[in-house]
């Protein structure tokens, strides 16, 4: 169970099981204390060909939590997620103009391959100017509204990438299925020119909403652009993945579906009560070809902005 704080005051939650809570009063001053004992971590396992590994055992991996190796787990199970919730975020700002046609083609191709995802679990957003726009939520295949809007889109305006990720993450948290794994596919060159939120805020929003980000880079493959690093960071911090341009949409969906079929939840005793950010990594113990994807870590105690 996560420790709840106001979403306006925190963008990351510590996925810990609450051990006890104490409220007291002294001279009309209330004290609030918490103690936590267990970390719960969700992750996916892939082999060297990026195929999901559905036969993982607890001895096949170790967790490194704030530099401390954890091999003894309280529990280890296949994920109880039964559905996949997918949202697509499309950059239609002026920075996307050189590759807008390619971007729209990739989105439409992706839509054509999502027949296994229920209509109510598929949403599309676009962003340009000052705020993002919800093109469709729950009816993206039932009607041609999203396709028509995308096909008629013109690249224009400023680029609120970070604000749009916050918006989409909040939407998925509030309207999404709590039993679904949440994935946000971002078609962008990674540039941001106007957002009120920062890159860190965008990552925090995705993490607090349990959203994995998969970045589809729209820059030229030969371009060492700063936006590629931004998309890489968004994906790596949230347990997603970054994809360079060629055939990215198809490859991204295949990797997402493979990971969904091989997702696990592990819990372990909190290895240290050190304040601040606990970076988390998962490493193979025997088969070095295994690859693990999970969130980048958590704050102890919860960070308050």
> What domains sit in the chain, N to C, each tagged with a CATH number?
16-80+261-300 (no CATH), 83-260 (3.40.50.410)
* pLDDT score at 101: 73
Distance separating alpha carbons of residues 267 and 261, to the nearest angstrom: 20
pLDDT tens digit at each of 305 positions of the chain: 333 334 433 343 344 333 333 333 333 333 333 446 889 898 989 898 878 898 999 999 999 999 999 999 999 998 866 688 899 999 988 877 777 777 777 777 777 777 667 777 888 999 988 889 898 886 676 656 666 667 666 777 889 999 999 999 999 999 877 878 899 999 898 999 999 999 999 999 998 898 999 998 888 666 678 899 999 999 999 999 998 876 677 778 878 887 787 889 999 999 998 888 899 999 999 999 999 988 888 888 755 44
Given a contact cutoff of 8 angstroms between Cβ atoms, the answer to whether 17 and 37 are in contact is: yes
* pLDDT score at 145: 61
* pLDDT score at 26: 38
* pLDDT score at 109: 76
How many CB atoms lie under 10 A from the CB of residue 230? 23
Given a contact cutoff of 8 angstroms between Cβ atoms, the answer to whether 46 and 52 are in contact is: yes
For the chain, report the end-to-end CA distance as a whole number of angstroms: 21
Of 297, 214, 278, 212, the closest CA to residue 251 belongs to: 214
* pLDDT score at 237: 94
Helix (H, G, I), strand (E, B) or coil at 299: strand
Distance separating alpha carbons of residues 10 and 61, to the nearest angstrom: 31
Q: What is the side-by-side order of every strand in the sheet holding 297-300?
A: 68-70, 61-65, 276-284, 297-300
* Residue 170: its H or E element: helix 161-175
Given a contact cutoff of 8 angstroms between Cβ atoms, the answer to whether 70 and 78 are in contact is: no
Given a contact cutoff of 8 angstroms between Cβ atoms, the answer to whether 282 and 61 are in contact is: yes
* pLDDT score at 146: 65
């Amino acid at each position: 169970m996560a420790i709840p704080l106001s979403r306006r005051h925190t963008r990351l939650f510590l996925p810990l099981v609450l051990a006890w809570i104490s409220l007291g009063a002294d001279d009309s001053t209330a004290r609030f204390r918490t103690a936590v004992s267990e970390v719960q971590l969700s992750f996916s396992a892939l082999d060297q060909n990026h195929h999901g590994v559905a036969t993982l055992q607890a001895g096949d991996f170790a967790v490194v939590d704030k530099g401390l190796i954890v091999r003894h787990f309280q529990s280890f199970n296949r994920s109880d997620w039964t559905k996949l919730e997918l949202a697509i975020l499309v950059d239609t700002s002026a920075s996307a103009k050189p590759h807008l046609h390619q971007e729209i083609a990739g989105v439409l191709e992706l839509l054509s391959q999502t027949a296994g995802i229920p209509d109510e679990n598929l949403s599309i957003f676009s962003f340009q100017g000052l705020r993002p726009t919800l093109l469709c939520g729950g009816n993206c295949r039932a009607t041609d509204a999203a396709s028509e809007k995308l096909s008629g889109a013109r690249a224009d305006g400023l680029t609120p990438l970070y604000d749009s990720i916050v918006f989409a993450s909040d939407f998925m948290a509030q309207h999404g299925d709590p039993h679904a794994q949440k994935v946000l596919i971002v078609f962008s060159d990674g540039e941001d020119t106007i957002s009120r939120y920062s890159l860190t805020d965008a990552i925090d929003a995705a993490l607090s909403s349990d959203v994995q980000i998969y970045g589809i880079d729209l820059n030229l493959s030969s371009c060492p652009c700063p936006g590629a690093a931004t998309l890489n960071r968004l994906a790596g911090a949230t347990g997603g993945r970054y994809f360079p341009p060629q055939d990215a949409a198809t490859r991204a969906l295949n990797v997402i579906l493979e990971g969904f079929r091989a997702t696990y939840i592990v819990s372990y005793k909190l290895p240290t009560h050190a304040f601040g950010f606990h970076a988390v990594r998962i490493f193979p113990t025997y088969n070095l070809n295994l690859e693990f994807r999970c969130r980048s870590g958590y704050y102890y105690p919860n960070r308050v902005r």
